[in-house]
Structure 1
């Protein structure tokens, strides 16, 4: 399993190729890229904070759970922190399994976790000032599927 929390932008194609190159025995790969939403052209930037060490441990634990629940061949999570502009990639999830249903389910599980439970704090910066992004009920509700 591969987990990276970084400030730098990542190359989606290179990361996907690297993930696939290391696989053996998988029949399906699912990738997801999360982008900074511009919210109607009002966003200048998003700042993402985290506690190094704590963040990686929390994400690694949920990746292990996903691997056990869906018999994954491999999984990868890349998540950025720092200042990001509109439409920039924030994160990438990739899962690989023998069958597509497991790869899709595990990817959704990881995305739901990253959205609602991973220890990141996001602040939106826009024309109207700055505001911390609050947890959404819909993100919390998505976790009840698992």
Structure 2
């Protein structure tokens, strides 16, 4: 599909390095950094997803949570990023996930994808965040207001 579009619209060729930023960090995430990483003059659409810590889950009040990851998490993040690039006409892609202790309202993950057209950007961004949540070994340890705890994704 991307190759067909490149033939139809030469200005829409894929950037030689569409994966621009991938990271797993203990420090707060910066939306502007991710947005800037996917800037591309041939992109007509940029889709950005921001995941935050919510104050509830399955009817229980959440006080905070911690994220941890396996040592292979960054390699898996690269693998799923490359999969999104292979499946969509991606000009630029970025994804960062935070680990450590987070409070309600903190930013946990930011992904962004730039494509020639908005529909492709939305589809690629959706694939990227869904694959990140399902395939990258990052685990969430939720702490509830009633004193109970729960591991998610472990």
TM-score band, normalised by shorter chain: 0.7 to 0.9
Is 1:119 the counterpart of 2:137? The answer is: yes
Within the candidate set 20, 25, 40, 2:42 is matched to 25
Q: Which residue of 2 aligns with 1:130?
A: 149
Q: 1:127: Cα distance to partner?
A: 2.3
Deviation at 1:109, TM superposition (A): 0.4
CA distance, structure 1, for counterparts of residue 84 and residue 64 of structure 2: 32
Provide the aligned length of Structure 1 versus Structure 2.
132
Q: TM-score, normalised by structure 2?
A: 0.79
What SS class does the counterpart of residue 107 from structure 1 fall into? helix
Which sections of structure 1, spanning at least 5 residues, go unmatched? 136-146
Q: Is the 8 A contact 1:24 1:73 kept in 2?
A: no
Q: What residue is the counterpart of 1:70 in the other structure?
A: 88
List structure 1 segments (4+ residues) > 4 angstroms apart after TM superposition. Answer: none
| 1:11 Cα offset (Å) | 2.1
Measure how far apart 1:42 and its partner are. Answer: 2.2
In the alignment, what sits opposite 2:74?
56
Q: Quote the offset at 1:19 in angstroms.
A: 3.1
Instruction: Report Cα offsets for 1:87-117 as digits up to 9, x if no partner.
Output: 1110001000111111110000011112222
TM-score in terms of structure 1 length: 0.83
Match of 2:54 among 29, 33, 37: 37
Q: 1:119 to 1:134 in 2, by over 3 A?
A: closer
CA RMSD, aligned part only?
Answer: 1.7
Unaligned runs of 5+ in 2: 1-18
Q: Which has the larger radius of gyration?
A: 2
Residue 25 (structure 2) pairs with residue 15 (structure 1): no
Does 2:124 match 1:83?
A: no
Contact 2:139/2:153 (8 A) holds in 1? no
